[in-house]
Copies of this chain bind each other. A is one copy, B any other.
């Protein structure tokens, strides 16, 4: 990837500010030895970890609990051919602490999907990277 006036690397604070702007991101993981990706609602916790809410017995929870995943969010405009993308890479863990679960039940993410026997999943923001695309550089 070329780094020049067409795109800019974002620092961690810029990344976290942008992550707080959109309601849907994508969990990137491995399922049966193949790359997999699932859009989910999310929010950021006080420590900047990414929080998801999903069914306890979902395929997603079985696949990611305890392993390192990537989480991506972005926003692009076709009109201006610009936008940003942020990727958080870190270990995903189901929240098992009752006090933490209770706190997140009040302040954590909501899901646009129905959730049965819901659990919160935390993705540690161990590595946070992002870039901004400034647009008007269409090439083929």
Contact = CB atoms under 8 A, between A and B. Distances in A.
Interface of A: 1-2, 4, 6-7, 22-24, 26, 28-30, 34-39, 53-55, 58-60, 68-70, 72, 74, 76, 78, 81-83, 85, 87, 89, 105, 108-116, 118, 133, 135, 137-140
This chain's copy number in the assembly: 2
Given A26-B26, A26-B72, A28-B35, A110 B140 contact: yes
Contacts of A138: 110-112
A114 B4 contact: yes
Contacts of A105: 140
A39 B85 contact: yes
A23 B58 CA distance: 30
Contacts of A28: 28, 35-37
Nearest to A33: B68
Given A1-B59, A26-B72, A105-B140, 5 more contacts: A1-B54, A1-B55, A37-B37, A38-B85, A81-B112
B70 A36 contact: yes
Contacts of A7: 113
A55 B140 CA distance: 10
A53 B140 contact: yes
